Amino acid sequence: MSGVRHLVSIDDLSLAEILGLFEAAKELAKDLRASSHLCRGMISASLFFEPSTRTRLSFESAMLRLGGGVITAADKLMLSSSKGESLADTIRVVAGGYSDVIVLRHPSEGAARLASAYSTVPVINAGDGCHEHPTQTLCDLYNLWIERGHIEGLDVVLSGDLRYSRTIHSFAYALARFGANVICVPQPGFEMPDYVLQRLREEFGVEPRRADVTRLGDLASRSDAMYLTPQKPHQLSLFIDPKGKDVERVDALYMTRPQTERHPDGARSLENYVQLGKLQLAAEPLRDAVVMHPLPRRDEISADLDSDPRSIYFKQAARGVPIRMAILAYLLGALPLQVEGEAAEPRYHAVQLVGNLCTNPTCISRSEARHVPPLFKLASRHPLRANCGYCSHEFAFALVGCTTTRHFHEKDSPEVRKIRPDHLVFFQDLAQASATGFAPAVRPSVSI
């Protein structure tokens, strides 16, 4: 909707805006009761189609501390979706006078993007499937910024379930944007997905390299570790040691639980899932590292670390209130930020398609096809690659058309490079292109 700012992805905020939110949150945190005038008379709607404790309560606490009110639908059995109502219709109703802002958590990837297309009030993504969790990412970045004073150049270890954790995916993108270095230390079978690594490479110039994490001891004894740094490829080529980039010092260790609710058919084994305790934290590179966790935890962090001054995960949760106060007040226009430059620009162009080319079974475009406007984003021009605009998964296509000429080409044709991004249209096959009224491009004849 025109004029409404949404927070669907961390990319919806510029770096200047993010730092401005950190400064605002720092001020709000000095006295959480002193800002009850900012959003007086405004209402936040919590729409949670999945369980949540910290995210939902911290958002509701934040809105109440800003002087606003809260309405909540946190049991999906009590929502009209259990009667067959679409998410699009639910959003239309809740945005139509019920609330001034919507905080949405949903199991389908891309749900928040869909909601933003139908909402006349700001939509905040509180987690959509395995896709993104931008406010948790802002909370994590804020904690790093508070603890270290900066983010650029920090060395951050991501450990545990890196495959199914949406928090990890968003955090990795944000760290790359800020120029931090990421050391992936996954549990075997829970490595970072290829599509996340591909996006890191294409958008941030990150080229994955093997990491030598022998100094991390038991934490990484069975891990095929990876070092990700947003530097130029020629700089990365200096890492010529076959063992990989040596990890000598870590600024932060981010531990994650196994995301069993997202494991397909329980296929992932949790046997020997590492537990982080004082013994593991005794490794020399971790001596000064702060220990972070998005919570809830299971057995991956021992209780003997709770009293360790390096452990900040309960502080991390508490700081979720002031950062979410800043987010709510900013999107509602109650908290102007003193930032330079323009708001973040979309990284990709929206392009057109015929039919649903997304093959991700958990994408919102699969479950709400009749409400999903075509939305795909251009990932690369050379070679031409496109991702689903909802869940970010890459899709396959055979032919590319131009909406101006009504001609189609083979996807690898040089002529495709001349088509404006917003004039592209994708087809699965010749029959689909012909049925839509597109004709094959006429190749120019060659004079002899």
Give the residue numbers marked as catalytic. 54-55, 83, 105, 133
Cα four-point dihedral sign 335, 336, 340, 344: positive
Closest CA to 140 of 112, 173, 114: 173
Closest CA to 157 of 225, 235, 206, 222: 225
Distance, CA of 417 to chain centre:
29
What sections of 30-86 are H helices per DSSP? 54-65
Long-range contacts of 408-415 (CB under 8 A, 24+ apart): 408/433, 408/438, 408/439, 408/440, 408/441, 409/441, 411/383, 411/384, 412/383, 412/384, 413/441, 415/441
Bridge partners of 211, per DSSP, are: 245
Only one residue has tokens 């919507």, namely: 102
Q: Are 190 and 161 in contact (CB under 8 A)?
A: yes
Dihedral pair phi/psi, residue 108, rounded to 5°:
-90, 135
Strand order through the sheet with 290-292: 245-246, 209-212, 226-228, 181-186, 155-160, 252-255, 290-292
Structure-token pair, residue 315: 């502080």
Planar angle of CA 313, 318, 324, nearest 5 degrees: 120
Q: Are 156 and 181 in contact (CB under 8 A)?
A: yes
Q: Are 301 and 280 in contact (CB under 8 A)?
A: no
Centre a 10 Å sphere on the Cβ of residue 72 and count the other Cβ atoms it contains: 14
CA distance 44 to 121: 10
Fill in the amino acid letter for 419.
Answer: I
Only one residue has tokens 């055979």, namely: 398
For residue 407, count CB atoms less than 10 angstroms from its CB and return exposed for 0-12, middle for 13-18, buried for 19 or more. Answer: middle
